[in-house]
Amino acid sequence: MSSLATRALLISIALLTGLVAGLVASILARLGGAAYTDAAARGGGAFIVTTSATVMLMEAAGVLAQP
């Protein structure tokens, strides 16, 4: 797989993951109730961890490397 294709794939994965996590957290928060609010907070935490892991993968692949 070419470097450009790898970069596009990793960026797409990061964007889709963020979109899904944000959507799920938003829906759960709107439903209300302690259980849903807790689940939304956990979803937000999962989003942060997933985003951090994606950034690390992108750095390892050289996508975010400085020239």
Read off the pTM.
0.45
Q: Which pLDDT value is given to residue 52?
A: 74
Q: C-alpha distances in angstroms, 52 versus 7, 22, 27?
A: 16, 15, 23
Give the per-residue pLDDT at 40: 64
Can you give the residue ranges of every domain in the chain? 12-60
Average pLDDT, stretch 25-34?
69
Statement: residue 20 has pLDDT above 60: yes
**pLDDT for res 60:** 76
CB atoms within 10 A of CB 67: 2
Calpha distance 5→25 (Å, rounded) = 30
Q: 31-47, pLDDT tens digit by residue?
A: 766 666 666 666 667 77
pLDDT of residue 39: 66
Runs of H (alpha helix) within the chain: 3-31, 34-60
Lookup: tokens for 63:
């996508």
